[in-house]
Amino acid sequence: MKRHNTAEVPVPVSYGGKVEKTMGARRRRRLLLGLERALPERLRYDSGVIGHGAAAGGVVRIEPVHRGLYHTRKASPVDRGGGGGGTSFSGHSPSPPDAGGSAKPESPHDSGVKAPSELTTVEHTKQPSEPASTGTESDDGGKPSSASSSSLPAAAHPFARALAAAGDKGDRCGGRYVYVQELPPRFNTDMVKNCATLFPWTDMCAFTANGGFGPQMSGGDGGVFQETGWYNSDQYTVDIIFHDRIRRYECLTDDPSLAAAVYVPFFAGLEVARHLWGFNVTTRDAMALEVVDIITSRSEWRAMGGRDHFFTAGRTTWDFRRLNDGDAGWGSKLFSLPAIKNMTALVVEASPLPAIKNMTALVVEASPWHLNDAAIPFPTAFHPASDEAVFVWQDKVRRLERPWLFSFAGAARPGSAKSIRSELIAQCRASSVCSLMECADGPSNKCGSPASYMRLFQSSTFCLQPQGDSYTRKSAFDAMLAGCIPVFFHPGTAYVQYTWHLPRNHADYSVYISEDDVRRNASIEERLRRIAPAAVERMRETVISLIPTVVYAQPSSRLDTMKDAFDVAVDAIVDKVTRLRRDIVDGRGEEEKLEMYSWKYPLLREGQKVEDPHDWKYPLLREGQKVEDPHEWDPLFAFG
C-alpha cells in the first residue's frame, strides 16, 4: 500500500460516474490514524517444488518481504536433514540463534514423503530468550496431561518461549507469531493448478483466480459497486483466500517454539468437493488420512497434541462428518479422525454432531454441538485494498435511499417440510413494501449476479435470511455488506455460529422472528413496522460498522485502523491457544465443557448482571445460570 503524507491522501472513488472530490473530516481523521503507523515488516511464504523430483513433492519455502524503505532479503538455508546429507522429512525447526546447539532430527516418517535437506528459513524482528524446556508428553498422541504439566514451572513447558514472547512488550509480534506447517503442494496449491477438476458441474478456474477472489468486476456496475475492489467471489474458496493471506501475515516464524499457533495449509474444502459425488469412501478419506499421518509425526505436534494447530475447511462442517463407512454416506470423515479432534477447524458453517476438541478448523458454517468448529464468514464480493476504500463504501451505504421495508432473495424449498421459505415468499408477494427476487436455475438467475442482489439489498431496510440448504447462507453477509439489517428465523443461522465476527447481543444488529411464529402466520411486515425509527438507525449503524469484520481484504495490502475477517479469526485463535497455555502453566487445566451444549457457551454473559436493563431482551444466559439449565432455544438444538 502506497503511503502518503497527510496532504496527499487521494479520494479517487466514483459512484456511477460521479467523483467524490472531498473527504469528510471524520473519515480523514480515521484514515490518518492508520497513516501515522510505522509500516510493518511483511513475511511471505511460497509453496513450491524444491529439490529432488516428484518424490520430494514440495515444501513451504519462507522468506521475508520488506516493503517501503526496507529491502528484500532471503534468509540463509538451514540443513534439515538427518546428517550426512539425508533427506528425511523431519519437520523440525532449526534451533534459534540464542538457543544454542543444533536441531535434533526426528525419526523419518513412514508415509513415503521426503523433503530436501535444505529449507529456507525466516528471520523475525526479535526473538526472546529461550527458557530451558524439558516438556512432558502423555500416551495420547503427545497431548500434555493437565495434572502433570500444572506442577511444572512455566519454563519447563514446550510452549514456554511462545508465552515469554507474548509478554515481551518490545517485540511487535510477541504473542502473535504463526508457524506454517510443512506440507507438499498436492495438499494445497496443486489443487488450484488443477482447478478444472474441483467441481463436477462447474469450471472453478475463474473462481480460484486472483487468490480465490474470482473474476474482478469493474466499472461500478451502474453505481452498485465502487470502481475497484469488487470480485465475483464463490462462497467456497475460503481455503485459497486464507492461505494467500497467511503467506503475507506479518508475524510468520520458522521457529515453532515461538509460535502462538500453527497453521496447517491443507485445502480441506477443495479436497472434499472433488470427491463428494461418484467416489467411494476410500477415495474421499485418502488425503485426510495422509495429512493426519504427516502432521502428527512432527515435533511441533507433540508440544500440545495439536491443540495449537488450525486449518481451514472452506465448506460446511457436514461435508466432513460422514456418519458411517458406507459409500452411500455423505462426505469424508476428516472431522471424526482423533488427531483432527485436537485441532481447530475454520469452516463457513459448523455441524451438530460430536466435536472437534482441541485443534481449530475454520469453516464457513460451524456446529452448534462441536466446541472446536469455528465459523468464519462466507466471502462476499468486496475485497478492499485500504481503509479508505472501506470508509467510502460505508458512507455510500449509510446515505442510500431504501424504498423497500424488507426484501427476500431466494428460492422455495418444496421438498423440505421444515423450510419456511414458501411462507416468506407468500408474505413478500402480498406486501406492498417488500421486494422479491426469486432464484431459479439457469442463465437468467438474478441471484447469481452480485450486481442484482446487491442492488436489491441496498434498496431495503431489512433483508430476510431464513436457513439455506443448511443453517447458514452467504446472503446474510451480502446483506450486511449492503447495510441491510438481517432478519433471522433460526439462531443457528448466525447467533451461535459467527461468534468471533458478530456481536454477542444479536438485537444490536438484527431482528429475530422464530420459524414457529412464521408458521403461525405472524406478519413479518407488522413486526418490522413496530420497530422504532431510532432503533432501526442504531441497528443499521451497527451493521455498517461490522462491514470490515465480514470481508476479506486484499492480501497485497493491509487495513491499518480496522481488522477484516482474516484478522479477527487469527486473533481469536491466538487468544484461544494463549489462554489454554496459561491455564496449563497456572495449574487450572482445561475447562470442562459439554459438547451437546456447545451452542450455549457463546451466550454466556460477560460481566452483565441480572438486574441490568433489558435482561431478557437478549436470549443470553443469566448470570449464574448453567449451560444445562433450560433455555428457550433448547428445542431447536435438541441433541440427537
pLDDT at 469 over 60: yes
| Residues 339/262, Cβ–Cβ less than 8 Å | no
Mean pLDDT computed over every residue of the chain: 74
What average pLDDT score do residues 388-396 get? Answer: 97
Single-letter amino acid code for the residue at 300: E
User: Which position has the higher pLDDT, 126 or 441?
Assistant: 441
pLDDT tens track for 15-72: 333 333 334 444 444 444 443 333 333 333 333 322 333 333 333 333 333 333 222 2
> What is the homologous superfamily of the domain 398-549 according to CATH?
Glycogen Phosphorylase B; (3.40.50.2000)
pLDDT at 589 over 60: yes
pLDDT tens track for 67-81: 332 222 222 222 223
For 88-102, 164-178, 588-602, which range has the lowest pLDDT when averaged over its residues? 88-102
Cα-based distances in Å from 134 to 5, 157, 344: 51, 7, 26
- For 66-75, the CB contacts below 8 A with 24+ separation are 66/41, 66/42, 67/39, 67/41, 67/42, 68/3, 68/39, 69/39, 70/39, 70/41, 74/120, 75/120, 75/121, 75/122, 75/123, 75/254
Question: Confidence class of residue 162 from pLDDT cuts 50, 70 and 90?
Answer: very high
pLDDT tens track for 130-151: 333 333 333 334 444 433 444 5
pLDDT at 616 over 70: no
pLDDT of residue 525: 98
pLDDT of residue 153: 65
φ/ψ bin of 328: left (φ > 0), alpha (ψ from -120 to 50), beta (otherwise) = alpha
Question: Confidence class of residue 476 from pLDDT cuts 50, 70 and 90?
Answer: very high
pLDDT at 572 over 80: yes
pLDDT at 428 over 90: yes
pLDDT of residue 416: 79
Among 168-177, 402-411, 582-591, 622-631, which range has the highest average pLDDT? 402-411
For 358-367, 491-500, 502-511, which range has the lowest pLDDT when averaged over its residues? 358-367
- For 168-172, the CB contacts below 8 A with 24+ separation are 168/126, 168/128, 170/126, 171/125, 171/126, 171/128, 172/40, 172/125
Domain boundaries in the chain? 159-378+568-603, 398-549
pLDDT at 571 over 90: yes
pLDDT of residue 447: 82
DSSP-derived 3-state class of residue 382: strand
Alpha-carbon distance of 422 to 122, in angstroms, equals 56
For 89-98, 252-261, 402-411, which range has the lowest pLDDT when averaged over its residues? 89-98
pLDDT at 553 over 90: yes
Q: Cα-flanking dihedrals φ and ψ of residue 243, to 5°?
A: -60, -40
Q: What is the dihedral of CA 149, 153, 156, 157, to 10 degrees?
A: 50
DSSP-derived 3-state class of residue 225: coil
pLDDT tens track for 85-105: 332 222 333 333 333 333 333
Question: Confidence class of residue 398 from pLDDT cuts 50, 70 and 90?
Answer: very high
pLDDT of residue 378: 93
User: Which position has the higher pLDDT, 590 or 237?
Assistant: 237
* Percent of the chain whose predicted confidence (pLDDT) is above 90: 43
Single-letter amino acid code for the residue at 286: A
pLDDT tens track for 441-460: 777 777 878 899 999 999 99
Alpha-carbon distance of 316 to 306, in angstroms, equals 22
Q: What is the dihedral of CA 416, 421, 425, 427, to 10 degrees?
A: 110
pLDDT of residue 521: 95
- For 21-29, the CB contacts below 8 A with 24+ separation are 24/395, 27/388, 27/391, 27/392, 27/395
Question: Confidence class of residue 629 from pLDDT cuts 50, 70 and 90?
Answer: confident
Of 544, 551, 218, give the one whose Cα is nearest residue 402: 544
pLDDT of residue 175: 94
pLDDT of residue 532: 97
The DSSP result for 98-144, as a single string, is: TT-S-PPPPPPPTTS----SEEE----S--PPPPP------TTTSPP
Cell numbers given for 19: 467523483
User: Which position has the higher pLDDT, 596 or 302?
Assistant: 302
pLDDT at 595 over 70: no
